[in-house]
Amino acid sequence: MSMIIVAILCAAAAFAKAATTIERVTEDEITRYVITVPDGETYTLTESDAESFDTYDILKTGGGTLVAGAAMTNYPGDIYITNGIYRAIEPGACGPNAGKVVVSGSGTLVNVIAAPNTYTAEGGYPSLGLIEKVYLKGTGYNGQGALVNDQVSCYNFARYVYMTGDALIASYGGALHFRYSTFDMNGHKLTVKGVWSGTISFVAGSNLLLHEGDIELINAGDPQVGASVGRLHFEGQYAAASSTHTVTVQSGQILSFRSLTPHKHNFVMKDAATLFGDNYKL
């Protein structure tokens, strides 16, 4: 009987799910909370979690999903995402707009916060706030993107975005706009991807894109009809300052302009790519 019990216990252990861990770790005189969410698992941050973090930074690791909502509204620290997904589902998910969000390695920041297109309308602030700074590098978890917009109309994402290396941004349906903001490419390459007509837009503001690098709108490669159609849009006062960089639009993708000032980027349109100007197909 004891051998059977041991066998059952071993089998149960083999199939047991790994649990999310939250640990305060000090390395090289830097103390922060490390949140490890295992592959396939999801953990939602609570107000108690946010209070326990105090002012220490947090590091999201593990291949699972960490869900953050309004419970993080008063958290003043910085957030580092190096593996897996940090899913921001409500305003305040990244703190009170005073810190920074740093995405690198195989980490992905997923935005599920809708935002209107003006600062003056009620609730019209960027989904991540007026002060929060977002730093992006890499292709994200399983190549999803360092930044992913998940089926919402986010017409105002963040006030400050900085690329610290080549990066992939994706919009799965909906729209992701960088509007009246600063998007500093730091000379790196930006790859964008739209799925199911997902749109990535740079709108208004003469200082919107700084230190440009190359930009490429890729085909997502989904064989379903319409699944791999994405749009890259430029609008308003924004104009590229450099004529040495290229915007490449891959097959089946859409490039559009509206009320655009003179633009110095070189454009390469691949077979079956489409160009729209002021809502008219060209």
Is the full-model pTM beyond 0.75? yes
173: left (phi over 0), alpha (psi -120 to 50) or beta: left
Phi, psi of 2 (to 5 degrees): -60, -35
Helix (H) or strand (E) holding 255: strand 254-258
Q: β-pairing, 30-36 with 21-27?
A: antiparallel
Helix (H) or strand (E) holding 81: strand 79-88
Q: What is the pLDDT of residues 176-213, one digit of tens each?
A: 998 878 899 999 999 999 999 999 998 876 567 888 89
Task: Tell me how far CA of residue 135 lies from CA of 10, 46, 68, 102, 170, in angstroms.
Answer: 44, 25, 18, 5, 15
For residue 146 the two structure tokens come to 């360092």
Neighbours of 95 (CB within 10 A): 25
Read off the DSSP letter of residue 70: G
Per-residue pLDDT of the chain (282 residues; tens, 9 = 90+): 454 544 444 444 445 568 999 999 999 899 999 999 999 999 999 999 999 999 999 999 999 999 999 999 899 999 999 999 999 999 889 987 668 999 999 999 999 999 887 665 554 567 777 667 999 999 999 999 999 999 999 988 888 899 999 999 999 999 999 887 889 999 999 999 999 999 999 887 656 788 889 999 999 887 777 778 899 998 876 655 566 789 999 999 999 988 777 666 788 999 889 988 866 565
Q: For residues 51 and 55, what is the distance between their CA atoms, to the nearest angstrom? A: 9
Q: For residues 124 and 87, what is the distance between their CA atoms, to the nearest angstrom? A: 21
